[in-house]
Structure 1
C-alpha cells in the first residue's frame, strides 16, 4: 500500500472513501479502539488534500472530535502544532481536523 504522500488526488479520494466506509462500519459494531486508528488515518489522508497555506498561525481552531479551543502555532507538513487553551503542552493534529473559529472564551468553549 502506498503512503499518503505518494498518492495522487484520485488515489487519496478513493482511500478516503474506503476509510470512511471502514470507520462507519467499525463505529456501528462498537470496535472503538480500531475505529479510532481508522479515524486518525482518515484525517491524515484528508490532510493531504488541503492547502497548508490556508491555515493561519496564532489562530484559534476547533478540533473535530474534541472539545475546547486549540491555538495553531506552527505547521509541519500536514500536521498543525499548537496548544489547547490554558495549556503549555504542545500537541499536533492533522490539518483536516482543524476548523477555524472566531474567538475562544476562557471557559474553553468555542464560539
Structure 2
C-alpha cells in the first residue's frame, strides 16, 4: 500500500523519487510514453513536498518548468499546489510548486 508524500520523511521522499526515476527510465526504454508521463508527474509531486509552500505568493509570476516561455500567475495556494492562470488563459489551473521557476524578467 502506498503512503502519502505528506506522511513521508525527507529521506523517504528522496528514496521514492529515485525509485520513480528508475521506473520512468525503464518505461522510456520500452517506449511506453504515457507511463513515463505518469512517473514524471509523480516525481514533480514528490519534489514539491521538499519545498516550502510559503515561498510561493499570490500574485507572483513564474515560468512553468515543463513549458518554457509559459508564464503562470498564482491566484492562491492549496498545500503544495499553486492555483492560477497560465499566460492569458481564462481557465484556472493547478501545478505542483516544483514545476514553477522564478521569472527572470
Q: Distance in 1 between matches of 2:38 and 2:87?
A: 25
Could you tell me the TM-score, scaled by structure 1's length? Answer: 0.85
Moved over 3 A (4+): none
Question: Which runs of 5 or more structure 1 residues have no equivalent in the other structure?
Answer: 104-111
1:57 aligns with 2:58: yes
Count residues with an aligned counterpart. Answer: 103
- Given that 1:43 and 1:97 are in contact with CA atoms closer than 8 Å, whether structure 2 keeps it comes out as yes
State the TM-score, normalized to the length of structure 2: 0.89
> Which structure carries more strand by proportion?
2
Q: Please, what is the CA RMSD of the aligned residues?
A: 1.3
Q: In structure 2, list runs of 5 or more residues that go unmatched.
A: none
Q: Contact 1:60–1:102 at 8 Å: present in 2 too?
A: no
User: Which residue among 79, 82, 85 is the counterpart of 1:80?
Assistant: 82
Greater CA drift, 21-30 or 57-66 = 21-30
